[in-house]
Amino acid sequence: MLAPVLTIDGPSGAGKGTVSRLVAKKLGWHYLDSGSIYRSVAIAIQNASVDLANISDIIKVTQAMVLGFECGDTLIVKLNGIDITDQLGLESTGNIASQVAVLPEVRAILLQKQKDFRQLPGLVADGRDMGTVVFPDAGNKVFLTASAEKRAERRYKQLIEKEIDANLAKIKSEIEARDRRDMERETAPLAMASDALYIDSSEMTINSVVEEVIKLIR
Ligand code: DC
């Protein structure tokens, strides 16, 4: 039997990660953070000192990388056996990930790795193209978004809480640039599946978003 899938797509900073993890925990389902796979490619090409313009080497590095996910209270990601969890969340990693994610060859290599997460009793898959490309037959789909202002404010607060120096205007313009790149690329752009539930979290708490998503499943 094919495991049921709930997809949660949307732009960066809309709260997909937090919501997906909480919903997966409530349902007892597995969780796929597909962004972390693209972020791992970004780290792999940085480690190999591959230039972003060198597409053939980016493809080679993507083909060769071995990823390991250890799901406990927090997600630990290993690239070729080395823990890269700390590097994954960096703003710079996300920006490079968004640039390599434009390449159709990279997306094709990563497709099966993502499909492999579909295991019983079920999967919550978070990303940009989960409901449109990777799991088009998912039984439940959500498109979770928020205004660029709100997303920038949330990101700014997170960084300040971690005592990391941050500039709100710069964060907002990086978010807008990433949105544009993710939405305008030709292969598997960020888009809402026609059968997805649209949720704008700008004025919502995380808990109320989780409740809406759980209602959809039940
Ligand atoms: O969700 P995130 O911020 O971790 O994703 C980082 C980048 O990876 C994002 O800007 C675009 C790319 N990505 C993608 O193209 N497709 C996905 N399903 C997930 C992420």
Q: What does the pLDDT look like over 108-124, one tens digit per residue?
A: 999 999 999 999 999 99
pLDDT (0 to 100) of residue 52:
97
pLDDT (0 to 100) of residue 158:
87
Residue nearest to atom 7 of ligand 1 (CA): 98
Which sequence spans correspond to the domains of the chain? Answer: 5-217
pLDDT (0 to 100) of residue 163:
85
Testing ligand 1's pocket by substitution, the residue of 77, 87, 98 carrying the most ligand atoms inside 8 A of its CB is: 98
Rg (CA), the chain: 17
H or E element at residue 55: helix 55-64
Residue nearest to atom 4 of ligand 1 (CA): 35
Q: Which atom of ligand 1 is nearest to the CA of 134?
A: 18
- What spacing in Å lies between the alpha carbon of 128 and ligand 1's midpoint? 6
From its phi and psi, is residue 12 left (phi > 0), alpha (psi between -120 and 50) or beta?
Answer: beta
- Low-confidence residues in the chain, pLDDT < 70: none
pLDDT (0 to 100) of residue 191:
93
CATH of domain 5-217: 3.40.50.300
141, β-bridge pairs: 7
Check: CB of residue 164 under 8 Å from CB of residue 92.
no
pLDDT (0 to 100) of residue 164:
84
- Which residue, chain included where needed, has tokens 């997306």? 107
pLDDT (0 to 100) of residue 218:
83
Model pTM above 0.85: yes
pLDDT (0 to 100) of residue 174:
93
Q: What is the DSSP string of 199-218?
A: EE-TT--HHHHHHHHHHHH-
